[in-house]
Amino acid sequence: MTQHDFSDHTLFDGGRAPNPRRVRIYLAEKGISVPLVPVDMGALGHRDTEVASRNPLKRLPVLELGDGRVLTESIAICRYFETLCPEPPLFGTGAFGQAEVEMWQRRVELHFMFPVAQAFRHIHPAMREWEVPQVAEWGEANKPKVLDFAEFLDAELASRPFIAGDAISVADISAVVAADFCKPARIRIPDELENFHRWYAAMRERPSYEA
């Protein structure tokens, strides 16, 4: 249940792009409603004044508070809402639990999301205008890194249902978004990674997945 009224906030959203989607899934898990302004990233809408005036890096998502203050970066936006609406906790509880989620969130971003993104941005023809120059060799070099981490994660998931323990966390949200983006990045997670696929299927069954 929403614990605050965020009707005076505005979330500039980028549709199916990974980072905007992370925030939407997070908000859905928390039961938080925030007014959305859709931005057509395919038409490079994130480079227009509406976004660029709020985030000079011209990236989404962007959260504008009612008083005009602006937050960018997916995890920073999620942390803002986590502080205001701590239940259910998606950044862990207690000193160790919070640090453990942070550890896994960092691992997922560095060793899974980033190489998937590099493979997609440097290989997919649709990204030619975005990633200048496209370096196909760099994109290909990142594919084995993705598979190495998926194998590592598969072993970890043999002993627990979620990445950072018994409860879903922001690390799972980041990871499922990255896993979804493997297809356009032309990376196939091997079928023999059964624990990974069990986790992935469970994440896809959650109502928040459709956010």
pLDDT at 130: 85
pLDDT at 57: 96
**Strand order in 36-38's β-sheet?**
36-38, 10-13, 62-64, 70-72
How does pLDDT run across 143-177, given as a tens digit for each residue? 999 999 999 999 999 999 999 999 999 999 999 99
Domains assigned to the chain: 10-84 (3.40.30.10), 94-210 (1.20.1050.10)
How does pLDDT run across 123-144, given as a tens digit for each residue? 998 888 888 899 999 999 999 9
SS3 state at 62:
strand
State mean pLDDT over 187-209: 98
How does pLDDT run across 72-128, given as a tens digit for each residue? 999 999 999 999 999 999 999 999 999 999 999 999 999 999 999 999 999 998 888
How does pLDDT run across 15-44, given as a tens digit for each residue? 999 999 999 999 999 999 999 999 998 888
Q: Is the peptide bond before 161 cis (omega within 30 degrees of 0)?
A: no
Q: Is the pLDDT of residue 45 over 60?
A: yes
Of residues 106, 102, 84, the one with CA closest to residue 94:
102
pLDDT at 1: 40
Q: From residue 163, give the alpha-carbon distance in Å to each of 12, 59, 176.
A: 28, 27, 11
Query: How many Cα neighbours within 13 Å face the side chain of 49?
Result: 0
Q: Is the pLDDT of residue 3 over 70?
A: no
Q: Is the pLDDT of residue 55 over 80?
A: yes
pLDDT at 166: 97
Strands 36-38, 10-13: pairing kind: parallel
pLDDT at 131: 86
Q: How high is the mean pLDDT of the chain?
A: 96
Q: Is the pLDDT of residue 2 over 80?
A: no
SS3 state at 160:
coil
Pair 206, 199: CB distance under 8 Å: no
Other Cβ atoms closer than 10 A to 1 = 7
